[in-house]
Every structure is written in C-alpha cells, then in structure tokens.
C-alpha cells in the first residue's frame, strides 16, 4: 500500500537510522504517511516523524499542460511547485484554487484565493533583455469587508514570491471606479507610474518637480492631490529599485490607511 503523493504533508523519520526498518513495512513505502494516520495509530510513533511539504497536483487548462511546462522551464529553469505558483498569485497553497495555462511567450495563472474572496489572473513573461515580469490581470475582490487590508496582504505574498523567483517587475492597473481605489492604494504599496505633463502643470510649486507617483507620494500634499484628482493608470513595481521599497514612515502610513 502506497499513499498518494497528492497529500499536502508527508512525514519522514526524524531519526534517519529508522529508515531501513521502516522501509521494510508496506504501509511506510517511501517513508510516506498521512498526519492523521500517524496520530491515530500511535502518538509515540508520531513523535519520531517530522513534516515536510509534498507537491500538490497542478491543474492545467485542457491540452495546455505540455506547453505550460515548457514555458515554465524556459522562464525559471525548472517546473515550479504548486506552492510557488500559488504564491505568485498572492495566495497560499491550502486555500487557493489555481489553473495553469499558456499565453503568447509566457505562462498564464488563473486563481481564486478563498479566504480573501479574490479572483484574478496573471501572466509571466520574459522581456527582450531577459528580465522576468509578472503582469496582474483582472484582479477582483468579491467582498468589500476589509478589502484594502486584503489587497495589501495579497500583494505582500506576491512580492515575496517574485523576489525569491527572480522576477524583476510587477505590473497592475490601478483603477479608480465606484468600487475600487487601486489608483490610490497601489502607490502606497510602492507601485509607480509617470505623471502626465498636463497633470504636473497644475501641481503647487512645492511639489511641481514631481514627475512620478513615487515622488508625488513622498509628500502629504501630493498624496492628497492624487486622492482627489488621480485617475486609473498602469503601474509598475520595480523589485530591483529602492523606490519599490517602502521606508519606515511609509510602512506606518500604509498600516494607518489599510490596517486601522
């Protein structure tokens, strides 16, 4: 009897000297056993085991698995684990549904992060100068309850995954609609965009030199003006630029605005 690889946890002997004897028993084939099975069978036995992650099965769009695996190898040099792909979507492995496919010259991820009621998709591609970029598409939060806090947590997970996997920039649309204030909150996270000349022309002289959102948001007056007069636009988070890292004061500002 061999337990399925689709379990979210596997257990191996903490004491490697136990491996030989355990391998001889049928139920411990390949040293795998489910947490519940160990606990129910013998608490003493469970103490001899440590938990390690087991790759969850990845769901692919119909007829796209082969090409998606090739794209992943081309981008990252290997096939990413389920947990890594989910993290790129801003989710966590135990509470996110995800499907993997392909787009032209890139990888496509579609997801639903259940705790935050977030659905969306993103694509990952390589630029002409061999940089990896992640483009968020159609990110939607289905509940307004603490939605800005949820956005912050979602992006924090995505940013960390991108840093680990060598992605250089993250792109998103900062929308201003009746149900979204992404145009204002994403710059607080460190997203940047050029300011149109026409917009800069009417800035007060104290901040008239500002030409990007990052520069504008360094000033309380600039944040207030953008909150009142800002608009939807494409934004980019540069993981290789210090401008993409919030200062201590800016972190406090985000916490005040989003987390209460």
| DSSP secondary structure string for all residues of 206-240 | GGTT--BHHHHTTSHHHHHHHHHH---EEEEEETT
Question: What gap in Å lies between CA 233 and CA 175, rounded to an integer?
Answer: 7
pLDDT digits (tens, 9 = 90+) for 103-138: 988 999 999 998 888 899 999 999 999 999 999 998
What pLDDT was estimated at residue 45? 52
Q: What is residue 40's predicted lDDT score, i.e. its pLDDT? A: 46
| pLDDT above 80 for 9 | no
pLDDT at 19: 36
| Element housing 12 (H / E) | strand 9-13
End-to-end CA gap in the chain? 52
Note the pLDDT of residue 92.
Answer: 86
| Each residue's pLDDT tens digit, 45-103 | 555 544 545 556 899 999 999 999 999 999 999 999 999 999 999 998 888 999 999 99
pLDDT of residue 242: 55
What are the residue boundaries of the structural domains of the chain, listed by start?
Answer: 9-53, 57-174, 187-260
Gap between the Cα atoms of 132 and 122, Å rounded = 13
pLDDT at 134: 98
What pLDDT score was predicted for residue 4? 32
Q: Tell whether the model's pLDDT for residue 22 goes beyond 50.
A: no
Residue-level pLDDT at 23: 35
Region 7-19: mean pLDDT is: 40
**pLDDT average, residue stretch 7-16:** 41
Q: Tokens 């520069």 belong to which residue?
A: 215
Higher pLDDT, 179 or 172: 172
Instruction: Name the CATH architecture for the domain at 57-174.
Output: 3-Layer(aba) Sandwich (3.40)
> Where is pLDDT greater, at 204 or 181?
204
CA-CA distance, 148 to 92, in Å (whole number)? 18
**Lowest-confidence range among 11-15, 160-164, 229-233?**
11-15
Q: pLDDT exceeding 90 applies to what percent of the chain?
A: 56
Q: Provide Rg for the chain, Cα atoms.
A: 23
Mean pLDDT of the residues in the chain = 78
pLDDT at 42 over 90: no
Contact 238/168 with Cβ under 8 angstroms?
Answer: yes
Q: What is the pLDDT, as a whole number, of residue 11?
A: 41
Once rounded to an integer, what is the mean pLDDT over residues 228-245?
A: 83
CA distances from 226 to 176, 179, 212 (A): 11, 17, 11
- Would you state the pLDDT for residue 215? 94
Binned at pLDDT 50, 70 and 90, residue 250 comes out as low
pLDDT-derived band at 26, boundaries 50, 70, 90 = very low
């Amino acid at each position: 009897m061999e337990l399925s690889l689709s379990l979210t946890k596997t257990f191996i002997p903490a004491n490697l000297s136990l491996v030989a004897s355990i391998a001889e028993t049928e139920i411990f084939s390949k040293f795998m056993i489910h947490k519940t099975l160990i606990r129910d069978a013998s608490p003493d036995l469970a103490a001899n085991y440590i938990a390690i992650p087991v790759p969850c099965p990845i769901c692919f769009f119909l007829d796209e698995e082969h090409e998606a695996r090739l794209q992943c190898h081309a981008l990252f040099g290997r096939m990413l684990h389920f947990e890594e792909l989910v993290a790129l979507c801003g989710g966590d492995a135990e509470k996110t549904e995800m499907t993997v496919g392909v787009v032209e010259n890139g990888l496509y991820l579609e997801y639903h992060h259940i705790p935050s009621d977030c659905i969306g998709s993103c694509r990952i591609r390589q630029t002409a100068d061999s940089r990896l970029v992640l483009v968020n598409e159609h990110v939607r939060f289905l509940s307004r309850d603490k939605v800005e806090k949820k956005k912050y947590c979602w992006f924090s997970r995505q940013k960390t995954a991108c840093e680990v996997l060598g992605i250089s920039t993250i792109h998103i649309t900062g929308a201003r609609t009746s149900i979204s204030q992404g145009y204002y909150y994403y710059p607080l996270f460190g997203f940047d965009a050029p300011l149109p000349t026409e917009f800069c022309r009417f800035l007060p002289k104290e901040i008239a030199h500002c030409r990007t959102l990052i520069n504008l948001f360094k000033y309380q007056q600039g944040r207030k003006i953008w909150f009142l007069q800002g608009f939807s636009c494409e934004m980019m988070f540069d993981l290789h630029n210090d401008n993409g890292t919030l200062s201590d004061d800016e972190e406090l500002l985000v916490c005040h605005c989003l987390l209460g």
